[in-house]
Amino acid sequence: MNKRDDCGVEVSAKRLLAGLEREGAPRARREFPNTPEGHEALVRWLAASVSRRVRVVMEATGLYGLDLALRLDAAPSVEVMVANPRAVRHFAIALMKRSKNDPIDTDVLVEFAQRMPFQRWVRPSPAALALHALARRLESLTEMHAAEKNRLHAAQLSPALPAAVVRDLKRSLRSLERALQRLTRQAVEVMGQDPDLNLRYQLLLSACGIGPTSAVQILAQLAVLSPDLDVRQWVAQAGLDPRQYSSGSSVHKKTRISKTGNRHLRRALYMPALVAIRHEPHLRAFYRHLVERGKAKMQALVAVMRKLLHAIFGMFKHQQPFDGTQLYRLPEEPSLRQPTFSTAEAT
């Protein structure tokens, strides 16, 4: 049986606090700056402290931890796991941790590495990382554009405001629109230079309801996922999996989606699903079928989002364009077979 050591790294904007657990030795703790030099120093410390492979667990902290994860993944004899912060938080509660600070969080991560199933982080391709960063920036700029547009609308309705405010809001909107166009072009260029991403982008565009903007956002979130995930894990990653709550014979709460996943992917699927139930006949029929069975409109729309994600998985796997007949057959189509629906499918 292979021996290993366990390490937890608490990541913040300026520093890294690492805890190392070795067999037969007291737990060691060291602090490093969250800089390229600090990442190299952490790798050297691990190499000097252990004589076998080491598992490192860190929380997903966005850009603060990305470069560290990339450096650790490249180090020999190091396996890195980027854990879901919610899982780590609930693990700390299970350990009866009543306080929270960096040393305690580091110890929790070491315990997490020792006791919980280890899921090794898979390094995304450089093109996938670039597309992901561009998509996140595009999403932020889109939100800013919507906010400025609302402010301009309100300002134009108020005679009391000076004209300078309206002019400044219009300049801000033009600047945001130019930035959105520029970043969108760069995202398309990134995908064009990667054959796999470009193929998937074209496949997404074949689906009714998915335009260029939605395709960029959806692909950016999916491109950084581990390639060995199945469609159920995709659904869980999006937080669209059903969450049941029942106990005994008296407690039966309404089934809802877990939302324990990537909210950016959920948001990217929302508008395509909304367009699809209006213009794609198979998904429109599926949506109406659920509503006729008594499901709320939002429940039915979420079920369409999940169906759409299933379709995207199949399109990528088989490298085939969108085919609505694979999702739901219309009554007038040949080989009609009424699909069966579980409670979870429509919640």
| CA distance linking residue 96 with residue 287, whole number of Å | 45
- Token digits for 5? 């050591």
User: Using CB atoms within 10 A of its CB, is residue 3 exposed (0-12), middle (13-18) or buried (19+)?
Assistant: exposed
pTM: 0.85
User: How does pLDDT run along the chain (347 residues), one tens digit per residue?
Assistant: 446 799 999 999 999 999 999 877 888 999 999 999 999 999 999 988 877 889 999 998 878 999 999 999 999 889 999 998 889 999 999 999 989 999 999 999 999 999 999 999 999 999 999 999 999 999 999 999 999 999 999 999 988 999 999 999 999 999 999 999 999 999 999 999 999 999 999 999 999 999 999 999 999 999 999 888 999 999 998 988 877 666 776 766 777 787 778 899 999 999 999 999 999 999 999 999 999 999 999 999 999 999 999 999 999 999 999 999 999 888 776 554 444 444 344 43
Q: Which residues of 140-178 are buried (b: 16+ CB within 10 A; e: fewer)?
A: ebeeebeebeebbeebeeeeeeeeeeeeebeebbeebee
- Token digits for 320? 């085939």
Looking at domain 5-115, what is its CATH homologous superfamily?
A: ATPase, nucleotide binding domain (3.30.420.40)
The residue ranges of every structural domain in the chain are 5-115, 126-193, 231-346
- Token digits for 93? 């509660």
